[in-house]
Amino acid sequence: MDRVGFFGGSFDPIHLGHIHLAVQLLEKQKLNKVIFCPIRCSPDKQGSPPQLPLSQRLEMVDLALKGYPSFSLTTIEEEGAGPSYTVDTLKAFQKKNPEYKNSKFFLLLAQDTLEKFYLWKDVHSLCTLAPPIFGRRTLKNPDFKDYPDAKLAPLLEKSLVGMPVLQISASDIRARIKNKLYYRHLLPPDVLDFIEINKLYS
């Protein structure tokens, strides 16, 4: 049975931190494949949606994944409307791609999503559909004794995977571009070219 990582995000823009997380979790969790899924808009960020349209973010992810044979892109979010809920997106993807019906899915996440993960739509069903794997960015596991969802806490505690820290954020990249600071060390080369050719984020 194939082990498939499902990696959703705004990717506004996709950067080397995203690639690093995916590579680390692919290797450490012995995944066969990672599917990147750029989303329309996170439900908790509807007041500050992605700066670029989904079409351009899809192009950047496609460029970034060249040379990574275990990584692929899905455009499933183009078919919906409104905020993106991971449980709905994953169900739609699996329905549209029956070749994955015998695969075991895992949800790939950065540690900074852990704090509010319990608020995600149908979170317990989501964890059954695709158990989460969090790339841990700190030396120690966070304390789960006061986690708001006590039933979810044991699962989340086991889902943390230690990995080398590579602190890069899309918001920092956008700010550096806008303020004319150096940012080229943070992006895959083809994504960098796409941003500069199209004069994005400036």
pLDDT tens sequence across 19-61:
999 999 999 999 999 999 999 998 878 778 999 999 999 999 9
Q: Burial of 113 by CB count in 10 Å (0-12 exposed, 13-18 middle, 19+ buried)?
A: middle
pLDDT tens sequence across 122-169:
999 999 999 999 997 766 678 888 899 999 999 999 999 988 878 899
Dihedral sign, CA of 174, 178, 181, 182? positive
Q: What's this model's pTM, rounded to 2 decimal places? A: 0.95
Give start and end residues of each alpha helix (H) in 65-169.
Answer: 86-96, 123-129, 153-158
Q: Distance between the two ends of the chain, CA-based, in angstroms?
A: 45
CA distance 138 to 51: 29
- Predicted pLDDT at 147: 93
How much is the average pLDDT of 159-185? 94
Domains and CATH numbers, the chain: 3-166 (3.40.50.620)
* Mean per-residue pLDDT over the chain, rounded: 94
CA distance 101 to 17: 30
